[in-house]
Structure 1
Amino acid sequence: MEVVLDARATLGEGPVWDQREHVLRWVDIIPGLVHRFDPGTGEDTCFEFGERVGTVAARASGGLVLATATGIWTCAADGSGRRRLHEVTDPPGGRFNDGKADPWGRFWAGTMLEPGDGAAAFYRLDQDGSLHTVLTGVSVSNGIGWSPDGRTMYYVDTRTGGVDAFDHDPGTGALTGRRRFADVDRGWPDGLTVDAEGGVWVALWDGWGLLRYTPDGRLAGTVEVPARRVTSCAFGGPGLSTLYVTSARVGLSDPDRQPHAGAVFACEPGVSGQPAGAWGG
């Protein structure tokens, strides 16, 4: 695991590989910064959205879709031309957290309210622009990913201490059969990604690393990260063979012990990822 961008982010999150420009997009939630990192040049640029931004994804027709403190927005890749599609203030005082576009043109994102008291929800934005409440009673909505065949969706509600799985219908986005996929006993489960072999990679908030689970829920390996608050991960680069990892500095009592907290890290884990989706609206 190496530092590819010593960003010193307050709360780095939501990495996603944008195949259109061969760049990594990610957010720093608290200052509301939407970043564009080019691994080829090492250049990282960003725009300020003006409120907390939980996640970013590509839009198939061009530009981006964002889940923020006040709702779901679209904008151009440089942040211009902003348009709010849906105002979401449930729970009051909360905000959108993690989210992701799926390979079938939908965008999924969930909310949270400190300290995660079960008042939040999980939403699906369809290609026609309609917004659907998928789950209620959520504490801190977090990582999302799909099996290579699209029949299983993995989901993290952080305060439950594990990863759940649903039966997923790629044609409609319907979820059924919620069940526990894996319990996480190292820190708290945060963002996740699924590789091309079906392995589920889970970032560990307060856990100094990532865990990889096999499709049947067995722990297959651990990757150590020199930052305590590891927030999410995504595959990118040529052949989607590089695993990028975001992290946070917020709330640290010992920043001198982890000078690269808030950095974007990367490693070559020996397995490739799946292409990121884009919202089709």
Structure 2
Amino acid sequence: MSCNAVTAHRAQLGEGPFWDVPSQALYWVDIAGKQALRLTGDRLQAWHLPEHASAFIPCASGDALLTMSSGVYRLDLASEPQAPRLTLLCVADPQPGNRGNEARCDALGRLWLGTMQNNIGEHGEDLPVLRRCGGLFRVDPDARVTRLLQGLGIPNTLLWNDEATHVHFGDSLDGTLYRYPIQTDGQLGPAKVWFGPHGRGGPDGSAMDVEGYIWNARWDGSCLLRLSPEGAVDRVIELPVSRPTSCVFGGPDLTTLYITSAASPLNHPLDGAVLAIEVDIPGKACHRFAG
């Protein structure tokens, strides 16, 4: 598969890719670099943020959500990149010293946000994760917050089946992707191990294709794994970056796979780039926040 960088931008910690079908635009963040980025055609916009943000998700109301260290904020997309207009929506996780990490919206437009102990210093340097103090929270369009899980290390991957009867959710400290049943009251049942540790890096973010297969980015593994609904490796997609962090299906037919990545000590030329590859299976579309 041919692979190319979609812009010259290189992130310290690129994450959270989101493809917006109505606007045909790609959203993502540089967590360590405190940037929210949007690519529409050839036009790249980068908002400079006052703190780390882990996801950048457009809203039905026309603005966008940013899952930032101190809470979930709305960003006025008409504001200037050097002076973003931010409005607090809610504080999902009140635990001091935590930050958001994985975040996606389900088919009902509700934000699901995984949090963790902050592991990024003020200048983007790595800090050790010493506590399993993170959680998983659901934020409804009216800003009501529901805690779903606690005691998490590094939450990564949030994907639902079409019937919304289970969610795939991972913890990178365990090197494992889990499957949780979604109960009728909206809470989660006991986790089942779906895909455990693998020799090609640790599990990071993922995307799902129309066949229900999960494409999982492998931190320090220089690849994606395409995993069957049963949790078996279907194929390995080699990548020219050391630390792919997540992926999303985009393009007019949802057959372009966009892959975010992070800088690494190996200093490969494309580390930190957003990559694009054409694949033979369309993906499932992202959902905007319904608020």
Shorter-chain TM-score: what band? over 0.9
Distance in 1, matches of 2:272 and 2:67, equals 21
Q: Is 1:67 matched up with 2:79?
A: no
Q: Is the 8 A contact 1:231 1:246 kept in 2?
A: yes
Please report how far the alpha carbon of residue 174 of structure 1 lies from its aligned counterpart in structure 2 after TM superposition.
3.2
Moved over 3 A (4+): 78-81, 88-91, 171-174
TM-score by length of 1: 0.92
Structure having the higher strand fraction is 1
Q: Which amino acid aligns with 1:214?
A: S
Cα distance change of structure 1 residues 172 and 58 upon mapping to structure 2, 3 Å threshold: farther
Of 5, 8, 18, the residue aligned with 1:6 is 8
Of 207, 213, 217, the residue aligned with 1:193 is 207
Please report how far the alpha carbon of residue 4 of structure 1 lies from its aligned counterpart in structure 2 after TM superposition.
1.9
Of 264, 268, 276, the residue aligned with 1:266 is 276
Q: Is 1:35 matched up with 2:34?
A: no
1:23 corresponding residue in structure 2: 25
| Deviation larger for 84-93 or 195-204 | 84-93
**Matched residue SS, 1:278:** coil
Q: Which amino acid aligns with 2:191?
A: R
Distance in 2, matches of 1:13 and 1:241, equals 20
Q: Which amino acid aligns with 1:104?
A: L
Cα distance change of structure 1 residues 89 and 109 upon mapping to structure 2, 3 Å threshold: closer
Cα distance change of structure 1 residues 83 and 17 upon mapping to structure 2, 3 Å threshold: same
Q: Is the 8 A contact 1:6 1:262 kept in 2?
A: no
Identity of aligned residues (%): 33
Please report how far the alpha carbon of residue 81 of structure 1 lies from its aligned counterpart in structure 2 after TM superposition.
4.0
Q: Is the 8 A contact 2:261 2:273 kept in 1?
A: yes
**Matched residue SS, 2:173:** helix
Distance in 2, matches of 1:19 and 1:77, equals 17
Q: Is 1:133 matched up with 2:147?
A: yes
Please report how far the alpha carbon of residue 96 of structure 1 lies from its aligned counterpart in structure 2 after TM superposition.
0.7
Q: Is the 8 A contact 2:4 2:276 kept in 1?
A: yes
- What is the CA RMSD across the aligned residues, in angstroms? 1.7
Q: Is 1:107 matched up with 2:111?
A: yes
Q: How does 1:1-281 map to 2 (within 5 A)?
A: 1-38=3-40, 40-41=41-42, 43-79=43-79, 80-88=84-92, 90-113=94-117, 114=119, 115-116=128-129, 117-168=131-182, 173-185=186-198, 186-249=200-263, 252-255=264-267, 258-281=268-291
**Matched residue SS, 1:7:** coil
Q: Deviations over 1:178-235 (max 9, x none)?
A: 2111113121101111111100111111110110111111110111111111100000
Distance in 1, matches of 2:10 and 2:38, equals 15
Q: Which amino acid aligns with 2:195?
A: A
Please report how far the alpha carbon of residue 17 of structure 1 lies from its aligned counterpart in structure 2 after TM superposition.
0.4
Q: Which amino acid aligns with 1:220?
A: D
Q: Is the 8 A contact 2:15 2:261 kept in 1?
A: yes
Q: Which runs of 5+ in 2 are unaligned?
A: 120-127
Q: Is the 8 A contact 2:93 2:137 kept in 1?
A: no
